[in-house]
Amino acid sequence: MGSLPRRVCLLSVHTSPLEQPGTGDAGGMNVYVAETARRMAERGIAVEVFTRATSSELAPVVEMAPGVRVRNVAAGPYEGLAKNDLPSQLCAFTAGVLRTEARHEPGYFDLIHSHYWLSGQVGWLARDRWGVPLVHTAHTLARVKNAALADGDEPEPMVRVIGEDQVVAEADRLVANTAEEYRELVELYSADPRRTVTVPPGVDLERFCTGDRAAARAAFDLPLDAVVLTFVGRIQPLKAPDVLLRAAAELLERDPALRERLIVVVVGGPSGSGLAEPKALQELAQTLGITDIVRFLPPQGGSALVDVYRAADVVAVPSHNESFGLVALEAQACGTPVVAAAVGGLPVAVADGVSGLLVPGHRSEQWADALAAVALAPERRAQLSLGAVKHANSFSWDRTVDRLLDTYADAAAEFRARQSEGVS
């Protein structure tokens, strides 16, 4: 590996690493940016994260961790701006980023790493202005999402598809979370395989670990003998929390006596197209006749999120698409098996039959079968719990950062070689 960069610019236009994941546009990408930034700073790399300011009360610069600055760039109205409206503010955001860098000596940043296509658009322009390489992580892809839309979900607009095409063509390195995403970039976006690498995300193994299950249940007033099925994530059609509710209703139809013990915990807030009907999930629970067994909790942070995972018998990840699925890793690190949809990166995040089960579809009957096979079978659940911890331990943010820094070094070396040859 080459020398470490001195200073890295991370771009995260539409969501800040300071925000609580699980609501609005905050999710796994926030965790990814925050965790990798912290670990790069621990290795002596100065990191600056540029994100769009969403409140007038935010300080222009916030020190997120030693060596990590978050810059809140004013671009458009602070509140009430949907993600699909953000392309109109990219000029203002880019101007803010370039203005900040211009206050320093030339060569202030050694490299740009953009997250999501909006950031890639900004990164592409900054790369050309600063003369440094651009590394890009898509996190989700419009063509992939549009091929697996949930009922009632809106397709991604063409402006995003075109924007992704442009970023893929311009980036010096593309970082895919899984081999499947690598394939999608190459086949659906004509990405150059030589400039595309696979770097799996990680999990904070010090924070997410096994612990006192009884104490975790007591923290949320959950009976020790309850059968607890849990969903953690943003409440939107893409994440498909409705699948868990329908499966729970199916389980009760099969065994009405289970109602005395079954509890479904939904942790998260409305997001994306789910904002249009913020109470849709509660209304579905009422329609299904299971309001008495469903508990809705706001997004949880810190030790509370760890307790959410530890308290569950099963964590369900029924998404219609996931570039990876950090919730699945976090839950497994806490010793909780995961039942997940066999889509996107989830077959990597979950080892089918070892750390949990993968479901090839979203039908209630399929999900009821899978959930019952884990939650209602203590011996099987105990076996999967051991496998879950072992599987999660094969991922870590330090390993992710190792691979990212290798990627940065390769991108920088190739960029310098092209410059010396006079090739754009």
Known binding-site residue numbers: 14, 20-21, 25-30, 83, 116, 140, 160, 234, 239, 300, 309-310, 312, 322, 330, 336
Rounded to a whole number, what is the largest CA-CA distance in the chain?
74
Cβ burial of 421 (10 Å; 0-12, 13-18, 19+) is exposed
Binding-site residues for 1D-myo-inositol 3-phosphate: 14, 25-30, 83, 116, 140, 160
Structure tokens of 34? 């925050």
Nearest to 51 by CA among 65, 27, 69, 32: 69
CB atoms within 10 A of CB 413: 12
List CB contacts of 125: < 8 A, sequence separation 6 or more. 94, 98
Q: If we measure between CA atoms, which residue out of 215, 186, 135 comes closest to residue 404?
A: 135
Q: Where do the DSSP E strands lie in 300-416? A: 314-317, 338-341, 356-359
Q: Are strands 68-73 and 61-65 parallel, antiparallel or unpaired?
A: antiparallel
For 8, the 3-state DSSP assignment is strand
Distance CA 390, CA 335 (A): 9
Q: List residues forming the annotated binding site for Mg(2+).
A: 309-310, 312, 336
How far lies 340's CA from each of 294, 322, 353, 370, in Å? 19, 10, 11, 9
How many CA within 13 A on the CB side of residue 132?
A: 22
Picking from 350, 68, 320, the residue whose alpha carbon sits closest to that of residue 203 is: 350
Backbone angles phi, psi at 49, to 5 degrees: -105, 125
Q: Report d(CA 342, CA 357) in Å as an integer.
A: 9
Q: Are 286 and 297 in contact (CB under 8 A)?
A: no
Binding site for UDP-N-acetyl-alpha-D-glucosamine: residue ranges? 20-21, 28, 234, 239, 300, 322, 330
Alpha helices in 83-157 (DSSP H): 90-102, 117-130, 142-146
